Structure 1
Amino acid sequence: MSTGTAVPPPAVAPRTGAARRVRRLGPGRPLPLTRAWGPLLLLAAWSAASATGALDPHTLSAPWTVVTTTADLLADGRLQSNLLASLTRSALALVAGVGLGTALALAAGLNRWGEALLDGPIQVKRAIPSLALIPLAILWLGIGEPMKVTVIALGVLVPVYLTTHAALRGVDARFVELAETLGLTRREFVTRIALPGALPGFFTGLRMGVTVSWLGLVVVEQINATSGIGYLMTQARTYGQTDVIVVGLVVYALLGLLSDAAVRAAEGRALSWRRSLAG
């Protein structure tokens, strides 16, 4: 039988510090200079192993030896001249590969006959590593610059084609319906909707292509080359100069990082409209 007396709520025990602590399942906030911690740790371990004698200098030269060698190569001009040769090869191959890959992606992505004729052969090329074509490229083009540029360009072509073609084919059907409702011509649809919508895919392929160009350059420059960072490393291998080899590896790494950063900056500028739409 109810007495009409209000029953007070049960007392809630105060939360302890452990109870108040939020359980974090994710990785948490990124640390400052996140990407630098790994390389710095490797550099510290390398320096410590070299200083204590645990690392034989004939196996891997000490960091300070590599720095001294870099200064010597800069002083006599060998590093600059070979770097220029490598940059020239990579730039020619990158322009050719990106241009051809984009053209093929447009032809296959915007036309059903183009896709029927082009997509199959490029998928076959995708399954064949570009470096596996070197023997055939030597037979066809010799061992000079055309062979080196062609092999690198074929490697660049594939990722640019694949990502751009997928972006063109993945245009939202709602945009197609909107274009039809507005009465846009096919040319207007391509220039105003399809191509801007494919830009993110193109830049993804471009970043991959830039990486592929440096990977291919490392190999082709060691095939009867007379200049380039790879040639410098091959000569150093002949004479057992591990310090020069490490300098070449560092140069390749820096070229890859800087070129990727440049593409990302260009992507940010070209796709700034996406941030504006997102608010």
Structure 2
Amino acid sequence: MNELNGKVAVVTGGASGIGLASVEKFLDRGARVVIADINAERGESAAAALGSDAAFKATDVADADQVRDLISFTDERFGGLDIMFNNAGIPAAMRANFLDDDLTDFRRVMDVDLLGVMLGTQHAARYMAEHGGGSVINTTSIGGIRAGCGQMVYRAAKAGVIHFTKCAAIDLARYGVRVNCIAPGAIVTPILSVATAHLGDGDAATQELREVIKTIRPLQREGNVDDIAEAAVYFAGEGSAYVTGTVLPVDGGIVAGHASNQMLDIEQHHAESLSA
């Protein structure tokens, strides 16, 4: 269970949610980790609680200078960089109808969710190219794979992450830098609540959406942050040494196809009737 022993990682958005779970998982598997987050209070608290193998660097991933400084800080603190997990992301406000979307959050969502991934990949790869290669992991979403209504800006940004990841994987392979991405789906984190916060009944809307997800998800359990963290460990370690340009949905099977729970219930009821 020490497959990351001796490696140095950066996790952006590492102070909470999927990021923090991944930081903890990386540490547990032997890595030293820099937590990068815009929330200094939460990041410093997390690093202090996790011990000397964790450090915090306040970073806005949409700021090229801050991302460059993050890579320098990591090298100075832990003497290297083997894993870059570009995980930081924000939702767009959820709208029922695209025609009613004023797109006021377009620039910030694109800056964080897409530009932030591109900057993180570029600056990390510049270091890795001169130090024997490494692994870059980007967080997309199943919303970037599957078309659908709502969250148009977020979906567009996450689709961009997928295509960028594949392009970067081809471009950076010559340097021994692998680039892959994880597509979470229906993971219990606060991001859905943030997306519905502008609604008068945001909490009710969030719960209603989670109930809808249950009806279409083949695996009948909710995904959690540790599910994504385990996928990140796979891409970070040598077990994926021959894997690059890959998109891994971690979504309970939603991308594979929607389950009709109602139909399954009907079939089960009839089967039980026949056997009675």
TM range (shorter): under 0.3
Using structure 2 for the length normalisation, give the TM-score: 0.25
Between Structure 1 and Structure 2, the one with more helix by share is: 1
Larger % of strand: which? 2
Larger Rg: 1
TM-score by length of 1: 0.25
Structure with larger RCO (C-alpha < 8 A, sep 6+): 1
